[in-house]
Amino acid sequence: MYIKQQKNWLTLPKAEDNLIKQYPDYSQVVLQLLFNRGIIAADSQSSQSSAERLRRGGEDGVKGGEADDINEFLSSDYGKYSHDPFLFARMNEAVDLIIKHIKDGNKIIIYGDYDADGVTASALLFEILTILKAKPEVYIPDRVSEGYGLNNGAIDQLIGDGAKLIITVDGGIRNKQEVDYAKSKGVDIIITDHHPALGGKEDLPDCLIINPVLKHEKYPFKYLAGVGVAFKLAKAIISKSKLNKDIKQKLEEQVLDLAAMGTVADCVRLTGENRIITKQGLESLNKTKRIGLLELIKAAQINENKKLEAWNIGFQIAPRLNAAGRMGHANTAFELLTTKNKDEAITLARRLNDRNIERQKNTEEIFNEVEKQINIKNDDKIIIGVCPLDNIEDEIWNEGIVGLVAGRICEKYYLPALVITKTKDGYKGSGRSIDELDLIEAVKDCEEFLDKYGGHPAACGFSLAEKNMNGFAKKIKQIAAEKLASIDLMPKIKIEMEIDLDEIDEKIIKDVELFAPFGQRNEKPKFMSGGVLIVDIATMGIGGKHIKFKVKNEKSGIISAIGFSQAEQWQDLRIGDKIDIVYYIELNEFNGRVDVQLKIIDIKLHNK
């Protein structure tokens, strides 16, 4: 049953009229979107504007005035707006060490991670090192049996196989003891990561580290994904090679598709350098010759005959890459990205697509089981779903999926959610949260009950013994109740600006497209129009689950507004109703005809 939640519509402050005079080359829509993102202010000479640029400089490495900020945001010139990789404090040492091992003919291990960020980072560095005549191999730990990061068992195995240098990607910053162990065995270690460290400088691994978020690190952009850090390392290695300038540039461009995929998949903010990596990487992705990727796109019927966009990565490609680690081993995804054999590519692509279908089915099954456990009382501020104690071994929830289920529960009920499953050693759980609760802070306050935990304000992972389950559940429920006691919990929709239907045309769509690719901190713009008249209603799709309205105002022509999987949600609306509507603006291409269309986000009856 659909739960109709009232949502809080928040329209962002309107940019002042003098912006149009300051920037006559840009439309009102473009200026409003720039204003909303803090790229320009109403008065470029004001202290507010200077403070905003200073704030953004600290976050995104932005320098100069507003004109430079606009050019950077709207540009796709990676060469002009990227940072020198040697701004990393220890990049020069790391590159020299890698070159030494290449010259000595030593085996180099790229130690990856099992998500799409870690897999693309592994493939990227592997590709560049192979081209530069190194002897690289990739090791990706198993999600279930090994877990995240370095472990001594894997280190022993790699040393036994002749490894002389281990380079981590997308992990390792919290593996001080494991790094010490590897070094005691005579192996060199380089950590590349983008996750925050625990504790102070003394708690860092004693080795070369490339990580933009470290407190002492001076690299200007702090929000690279794991693949972004690996790309900067690859770029630095390429720059010190003896290849000519044109070949160096081609090598960088060759792996930008991998950098873009991992960046979007990891949901880091698509601002600053990430935005440029993704923009240029999408250009490379749309020209890719990676046969594994081409076969995956074909097997999944992704965006046939259309250009791939960031959402295709986030909602279609990345889930299939992640399915490898969730439903089996991430090596399948790595092999898909690096294979040169067409038959192998076809087999791997089909396998990943099948695993993703299985993942979707398992997610739905666990989601339904968790929903059966939900009995929300007025004072409940967190939902906890636990794999039933009497489940037989074959019915234990897949620990690679419980985080996805927590995300769906959190979104549906707008409450923090934890989903916990049994393992051979106890229990493991994943959580997702709303803006109003810092989940990792809440989990940290329960550490007395936990064996391990990690994460950030919006998501977490943890493990604990069965004997501690009741104590943990009781305390985190108490913490959530206290933190959220006086807060009216309601999903929020941030609206970029209000416009009239008669203002909507293809020019607005082109203006919006200037801001692509969309992602964290640069979401696809949502618009609102009030007092819109419904002139027709129709249901569509299998079982009539989609709904399509024809709408207009006094001055506009008729425009289509479609709500995918929203027929039940808006079943009470009637022809002749006046509504306020929040939507995305897009072009609908069908049977050779192109029309402007509204993609419905939310609807309210006008003046109610």
Q: What is the pLDDT of residue 42?
A: 66
Could you tell me the sign of the dihedral formed by the alpha carbons of 52, 53, 56, 57, in that order?
negative
**Residue 425 corresponds to which tokens in the numbers above?**
């050693």
Q: How far apart are the first and last CA of the chain?
A: 25
φ, ψ (nearest 5 deg) of residue 369 = -65, -40
pLDDT of residue 57: 38
Token duo for residue 225: 């994904």
The fraction of the chain above a pLDDT of 70, given in percent, is: 93
DSSP letters of 217-239? ---S-----HHHHHHHHHHHHHH
If one looks up domain 382-483 in CATH, what number appears?
3.10.310.30
CB proximity list for 314: less than 8 A, separation 6 or greater: 264, 265, 267, 519
| CB-facing half-sphere around the CA of 61: CA atoms within 13 A | 22
Per-residue model confidence (pLDDT) at position 16: 84
What predicted TM-score, i.e. pTM, was given to this entire model?
0.89
**Residue 376 exposed, middle or buried by CB count within 10 Å (0-12, 13-18, 19+):** exposed
Q: What is the mean pLDDT of residues 529-556?
A: 94
494 vs 311: CA distance, rounded Å = 19
At 63, give phi and psi (nearest 5°). -125, 165
Name the DSSP class of 516. Answer: P
pLDDT of residue 90: 97
429 φ, ψ (degrees, to nearest 5): -140, 160
What is the average per-residue pLDDT within 22-30? 91
Helix (H) / strand (E) element for 540: namely strand 527-540
Task: State the CB neighbour count (10 A cutoff) for residue 504.
Answer: 20
Query: Does the pLDDT at position 2 exceed 60?
Result: no
d(C-alpha 337, C-alpha 317), whole Å: 12
Of the candidates 398, 406, 412, the one whose C-alpha atom is nearest the C-alpha of residue 362 is: 398
For residue 210, list its beta bridge partners: 192
| Phi and psi torsions of 110, nearest 5° | -95, 115
| Residue indicated by tokens 């299985």 | 358
pLDDT band at 85 (very low <50, low <70, confident <90, very high): very high
Which amino acid, one-letter code, is at 301?
Answer: Q
Give the model's pLDDT for residue 49: 41
**CA of residue 602 relative to chain centroid, distance:** 24
One CATH from 1.10.357.10, 1.10.3720.10, 2.40.50.460, 1.20.1560.10 for 493-605: 2.40.50.460
Tens digits of per-residue pLDDT, 145-183?
888 899 999 999 999 999 999 999 999 999 999 999 999
Locus of tokens 């091992």: 101
DSSP state letters, 56-107: HHHHH---S-HHHHHHHHH---HHHHSPPGGGSTTHHHHHHHHHHHHHTT-E
> What does the alpha-carbon distance between residue 73 and residue 65 come to, in Å, rounded to a whole number?
13
Instruction: Give the pLDDT score at 394.
Output: 58
| Spatial CA neighbour of 7 closest among 585, 582, 607, 597 | 582
Q: Where are the domains of the chain?
A: 8-81, 90-244, 382-483, 493-605
Task: Give how far Cα 22 sits from Cα of 12, 51, 55, Å.
Answer: 20, 19, 22
The answer to whether the beta carbons of residues 464 and 450 sit under 8 Å apart is yes
pLDDT for res 45: 42
Q: Is the confidence at residue 93, as pLDDT, over 90?
A: yes
* pLDDT level of residue 296 (50, 70, 90 thresholds): very high
Tokens of 19: 């912006």
DSSP at 398: P
121-150 per-position pLDDT tens digit: 999 999 999 999 999 999 999 988 888 899
Question: Which amino acid appears at position 71 of this protein?
Answer: N
User: May I ask the CATH architecture of the domain 90-244?
Assistant: Alpha-Beta Complex (3.90)
Mean of the pLDDT values across residues 288-310?
Answer: 90
Average confidence (pLDDT) over 430-459:
92
